[in-house]
Amino acid sequence: MTFFKKILIANRGEIALRIIRACHELGIKTAIVYSDVDRNTLPVRLADEAICIGPAPASQSYLNIPAIISAAEITDAEAIHPGYGFLAENPQFVEACTASRITFIGPSAENIRIGGDKSRARQIMKRRGIPIVPGSGAPVLKEAEAMRISRKIGFPVIFKASAGGGGKGMRIVHEEKDLTRMYHTAQKEALAAFGIGDLYIEKYISDMRHIEVQILADNKGNIIHLGERDCSIQRRHQKLIEEAPFIFSDAKFRKKIGELAIKAAKAFKYRNAGTIEFILDRDKQVYFMEINTRIQVEHPVTEMVTGIDIVKEQIKLAAGQPLSLKQQDVKFSGHSMECRINAEDPERFIPSPGRVSLFVPPGGQGVRTDTAAYSGWTVPAHYDSLIAKVIVHGKDRDEAILRMRRALSEFIIEGIKSTIPFYQKVLDNPDFISGNFNTGFLDKNYTTK
């Protein structure tokens, strides 16, 4: 097979190291860009080449499109992998790569535009007969319009940023009297986070599960799914624990939601790796929520239950290779779970940057730790506080929980605070153990604000 000779990685931290490893296993050389505070990180050390592109602020380094394109040209990289975050969902970056004859390892610019325009994505799904949560058909630009639509569909409703993600620009409105305040708060947050204050409205479904389906698509329009993940354990709409498969899944449910995901991806003319996200209500009714046009933080749980390396598949697909698997070739085994370990106070969730005096990740049977941290490394204050992902695999969910407890108890991080104690509490919660939870679980059971 013909792949790229060299790939530039436009990211940092654990995902950059994850991509370097996949490239080296494929026999591909790597180059990486970095900011001056990331000079002594593992990805910079382990890549074949490294270029400093600016100071710590992301706007001057990891979001600096001209500098990244120049780095690719200087290193003769044929392709760029964006990882997640930063420029991973920036259509202008994709177009800049194309203009410079550099392959962007990910979906098309148009895929990303649709993925970033939540209201447009909903309209496409509605036309294709894919269930969507009742709501506005387009961005709601005035408060009076928001009030009219909210009254029509009935409270509670949720405002969401049309260009958003990661929980930014989202507010739940339980009663009419709160609408004005929540509308303007969500609008300001969306504007600050994405540069666009447009909101759309959905009926808020309580007791909902957040279920997503991993897809892979080649350039010929062939698409398969790799099963579902349950991402319902969230804090302020940010995922903290992810699992595969959904605890109450069976062959019938997986077939249904997988076919919906493929239908959605075909409607978008999607290519490369992506995730179709759904809301599942208490009656197991499935509604399309959004499409994520990048590798997800939680992709390892799918890799653990399928044995498929999603990052390698991304690279092969970007190189123009056809899908290496047919749907019937995808097999599922056991249960996997991931905990995102952040450099944060486990009680108040305040970032805890600083020097890591001792870092000993867990290992052993069925345990995988994705991290770029090490003893002596300093966690910078400039970026997301994620420092590690602990992923476990067991023959069933009970074994996965026991294995995760064991792994977290072995994890040694000194010099900074981490969220490990918080996860240990959640893993002992009877409702979590039984699967009796939804997206409101943490807010109900723990002080997470």
Please compute the mean of the pLDDT values over residues 103-121 and round it to a whole number.
93
Compute the distance between CA of residue 73 and CA of residue 183 in angstroms, rounded to an integer: 45
User: What is the pLDDT at residue 315?
Assistant: 98
Residue 421 has pLDDT above 80, yes or no: yes
User: What is the pLDDT at residue 10?
Assistant: 98
- CATH architecture, domain 134-203: 2-Layer Sandwich (3.30)
Residues belonging to the chain: 449
Residue 2 has pLDDT above 80, yes or no: no
Residue 100 has pLDDT above 90, yes or no: yes
User: What is the pLDDT at residue 447?
Assistant: 62
Res. 122 pLDDT band, cuts 50 70 90: confident
pLDDT tens for each residue of 405-419: 999 999 999 999 999
Range with lowest mean pLDDT among 37-51, 116-130, 253-267, 313-327: 116-130
Measuring CA to CA, which residue among 331, 324, 230, 328 is closest to residue 273? 324
Question: What's the predicted TM-score (pTM) here?
Answer: 0.91
Please compute the mean of the pLDDT values over residues 427-444 and round it to a whole number.
94
Degrees, nearest 5: CA angle 437-438-443: 95
User: What is the pLDDT at residue 194?
Assistant: 82
Domain 209-445 adopts which CATH fold? D-amino Acid Aminotransferase; Chain A, domain 1 (3.30.470)
User: What is the pLDDT at residue 4?
Assistant: 97
What is the 3-class SS of 366-377, one letter each residue? CEEEEECCCCCC
Q: Kindly give, in sequence order, each residue whose CB lies less than 8 Å from that of residue 275, ignoring residues fewer than 6 positions away.
A: 212, 213, 214, 215, 291, 292, 296
Percent of the chain's residues with pLDDT above 90: 88
Res. 291 pLDDT band, cuts 50 70 90: very high
Tokens of 54: 């600016």
Measuring CA to CA, which residue among 70, 399, 143, 107 is closest to residue 274? 107
Measuring CA to CA, which residue among 385, 87, 332 is closest to residue 214? 332
Q: Kindly give, in sequence order, each residue whose CB lies less than 8 Å from that of residue 180, ignoring residues fewer than 6 positions away.
A: 143
- CATH architecture, domain 6-105: 3-Layer(aba) Sandwich (3.40)
Residue 400 has pLDDT above 70, yes or no: yes
User: What is the pLDDT at residue 165?
Assistant: 67
Q: Decide whether 6-105 matches 134-203 in CATH topology.
A: no
Q: Kindly give, in sequence order, each residue whose CB lies less than 8 Å from that of residue 433, ignoring residues fewer than 6 positions away.
A: 401, 427
Please compute the mean of the pLDDT values over residues 173-202 and round it to a whole number.
92
User: What is the pLDDT at residue 173?
Assistant: 96
Range with lowest mean pLDDT among 40-49, 252-261, 269-278, 281-290: 281-290
Please compute the mean of the pLDDT values over residues 285-294 and round it to a whole number.
94
DSSP label at residue 114 = H
Res. 387 pLDDT band, cuts 50 70 90: very high
Catalytic residue positions, numbered: 294
Res. 166 pLDDT band, cuts 50 70 90: low
Res. 444 pLDDT band, cuts 50 70 90: confident
- Report domain extents, the chain: 6-105, 134-203, 209-445
Residue 1 has pLDDT above 60, yes or no: no
